[in-house]
């Protein structure tokens, strides 16, 4: 069989532990037999990041900017425990995802992979809900303190050219707590562009919610920036048959629960933190959650939402077969290949991405699953737990 050709390389970021093991298996069993794979390979495994003083992460992010599409394996973010586990580490290296996100200035979109045998807790959700979380500012970059005496707290801005604002936060009679938060027009604008671009790319309606009735200036800015940026996309939205819908966060929550899904819900940083955990838990499993980083210029990086599955890795290292779920990592690959295909006009490659995903669904629908999913299956469906390798072989049979 002649393999499917590629024209532009995909930026490939390898990672750590069990997901690194799965990464190689996925390539060997599901991609290399069919695709004449062209990648620019970056090893983001912890030890290689250490050897390169983390330059490899920066290089990988810059390559992503250059080529436009990347696929990333889960990576270890070292903490104190990891420093003991890997004594050769010269620094507690920063989270690669954080480094890549700041270079690409991106927004993270998380969406569940849904199958018939596993129903979301919310029964009327028949289509996936994607959460787009603004990943900059607000309470995550705020300052706070507590006070003990009666007094007054003021918020003061001193511009470099003389602009000045001063507001009384509150006059208090006794002990109190205070908090100062910010966001920037630039970051909000990037967030808006990423959301509209992603909605068009995935042909889904976009919802956006804030609390601008209460935070009239702060959240009012988010609402206004989105409205203004939308004027650049309005015609394309119409053409694609999708809509942009703004509502208050409390109204959005009620509507989301009553909805059938199938849209993107853009959330401010805190709302996105809280709502993405609610939505992903309601849909079933972290192992079935995809994650995509999209920059305002459309540069896209695909990955799984879960980590390196450390516990499974140590079992695998000890010679045991593990039943680690590769679905989210496979979908990172299919997503990246599809995006590359669309940018380069490669119909065979796009069809292959579809076929790979269809083979995954066919395998799950045949009741062949990893252990984590078997316990979630609805009555009336049969499911057998297999190890990761068998699961991948079963997918390969169905491509």
* Site mask for ligand NAP (CB under 6 A), range 221-260, x = bound: ----------------------------------------
User: Which positions from 282 through 311 interact with ligand NAP, judged by CB under 6 A?
Assistant: 286-287, 303, 306-311
Distance CA 162, CA 289 (A): 49
Q: How many CB atoms lie within 10 A of CB 184?
A: 11
> Which of 97, 187, 299, 300 is the binder for ligand NAP (CB under 6 A)?
97
Instruction: Check: CB of residue 251 under 8 Å from CB of residue 209.
Output: yes
Quick note: the x/- pattern for ligand NAP over 347-376, rule CB under 6 A, is -------------------------x----
98 belongs to an annotated ligand binding site: yes
User: Binding partner of residue 325 among ligand NAP, Mg ion, none, CB under 5 to 8 Å per kind?
Assistant: ligand NAP
* Contact yes or no for 268/210 (Cβ under 8 A): yes
Contacted by 377, from Mg ion, ligand NAP, none: CB < 5 to 8 Å by type: none
The 10 Å CB-count burial string (b at 16+, else e) for 138-149 is beeeeeeeeeee
DSSP state of 114: P
In the block, tokens 């996925």 appear at 26
Q: Is 161 annotated as a binding residue?
A: no
> Interface with ligand NAP includes 50 (CB under 6 A)?
no
Please indicate if the annotation marks 209 as binding a ligand.
Answer: no
Structure tokens at 239: 């053409």
Contact residues for Mg ion, defined by CB under 5 A: 273
| Beta carbon of residue 3, minimum distance to ligand NAP (angstroms, whole number) | 28
Strand blocks (E) in the chain:
10-14, 39-43, 69-72, 107-112, 130-133, 143-147, 151-158, 164-172, 176-180, 205-210, 244-248, 263-267, 289-294, 300-304, 368-369, 384-385
The correct pick among 39, 99, 325, 363 for binding ligand NAP (CB under 6 A) is 325
Q: Which two tokens stand for residue 44?
A: 């983001």
Say whether 95 counts as a known binding-site residue: yes
- Give the total of residues touching ligand NAP (CB under 6 A): 17
Q: Check binding of 62 to ligand NAP (CB under 6 A).
A: no
Q: Under the rule (CB under 6 A), what is the footprint of ligand NAP?
A: 74-77, 97, 286-287, 303, 306-311, 324-325, 372
Task: Pick out the residues of the known binding site for D-threo-isocitrate.
Answer: 77, 95-101, 110, 133
């Amino acid at each position: 069989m002649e393999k499917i050709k590629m024209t532009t390389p995909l930026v490939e970021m390898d990672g750590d532990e069990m997901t690194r093991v799965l990464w190689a298996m996925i390539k060997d069993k599901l991609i290399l037999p069919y695709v004449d794979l062209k990648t620019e390979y970056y090893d983001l495994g912890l030890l290689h990041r250490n050897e390169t003083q983390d330059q490899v992460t920066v290089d990988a992010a810059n390559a992503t900017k250059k080529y436009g599409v990347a696929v990333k394996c889960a990576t270890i973010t070292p903490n104190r425990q990891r420093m003991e586990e890997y004594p050769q580490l010269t620094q507690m290296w920063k989270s690669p995802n954080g480094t890549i996100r700041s270079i690409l200035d991106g927004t993270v979109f998380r969406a569940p992979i849904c199958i018939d045998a596993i129903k979301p807790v919310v029964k009327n959700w028949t289509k996936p809900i994607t959460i787009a979380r603004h990943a900059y500012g607000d309470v995550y970059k705020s300052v706070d303190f507590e006070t003990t005496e009666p007094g007054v707290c003021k918020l003061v801005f001193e511009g470099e050219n003389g602009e000045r604002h001063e507001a009384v936060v509150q006059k208090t009679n006794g002990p109190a707590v205070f908090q100062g938060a910010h966001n920037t027009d630039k970051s909000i604008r990037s967030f808006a562009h990423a959301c509209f671009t992603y909605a068009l790319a995935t042909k889904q309606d976009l919802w956006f919610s804030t609390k601008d009735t209460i935070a009239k200036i702060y959240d009012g800015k988010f609402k206004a920036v989105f409205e203004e940026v939308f004027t650049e996309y309005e015609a394309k939205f119409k053409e694609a048959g999708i809509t942009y819908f703004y509502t208050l966060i409390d109204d959005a929550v009620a509507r989301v629960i009553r909805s059938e899904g199938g849209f993107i819900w853009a959330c401010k940083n805190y709302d996105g933190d809280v709502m993405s955990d609610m939505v992903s838990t309601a849909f079933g499993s972290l192992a079935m959650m995809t994650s995509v980083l999209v920059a305002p210029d459309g540069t896209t990086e695909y990955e799984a939402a879960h980590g390196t599955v450390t516990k499974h890795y140590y079992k695998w290292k000890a010679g045991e077969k593990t039943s680690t779920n590769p679905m989210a990592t496979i979908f990172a690959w299919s997503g990246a290949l599809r995006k590359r295909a669309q940018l380069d006009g490669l119909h065979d490659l796009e069809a292959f991405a579809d076929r790979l995903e269809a083979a995954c669904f066919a395998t799950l629908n045949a009741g062949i699953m990893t252990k984590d999913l078997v316990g979630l299956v609805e009555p009336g469906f049969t499911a057998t737990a297999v190890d990761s390798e068998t699961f991948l072989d079963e997918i390969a049979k169905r491509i």
